[in-house]
Amino acid sequence: MNIGTTEPPCLFGSAWTISKLQDANVLSWTIHNAGWAECVRIACERLKKFN
């Protein structure tokens, strides 16, 4: 993953998102990147529908 990219890494899929959500450093980083945080929020909402 390139942290310098402006495009949220949504393509990586839900498994990637879950693994990264478990990483406190990534959670802290999302606070500084609204686009990424929004991507994660949407991914979580989608996951809730399947669980």
Residue 18, in any domain of the structure = yes
| Cα 20 to Cα 22: distance, rounded to the nearest angstrom | 5
Buried b (16+ CB within 10 A) or exposed e, 18-40: eebeeeeebeeebeeeeebeebb
Identify the pLDDT of residue 10. 53
Which residue range is the domain that position 26 belongs to? 12-50
Q: How many domains does the chain have?
A: 1
Selected residue with higher pLDDT from 10 and 19: 19
N-to-C CA span, the chain: 27
Find tokens 């959670």 and name the residue. Answer: 27
Residue 7 belongs to a domain: no
pLDDT value, residue 41? 80
Q: Would residue 22 count as lying in a domain?
A: yes
**Is residue 46 a part of any domain in this protein?**
yes
Q: Does the residue 4 lie in any domain?
A: no
Q: Over the stretch 19-50, which tens digit does the pLDDT of each residue have?
A: 766 665 666 666 666 667 777 788 888 888 77
In this prediction, residues 7-22 reach a mean pLDDT of 60
Q: Is residue 29 part of a domain?
A: yes
Looking at residues 5-31, what average pLDDT do you find? 60
d(CA 39, CA 9): 8
Q: Does residue 30 fall inside a structural domain?
A: yes
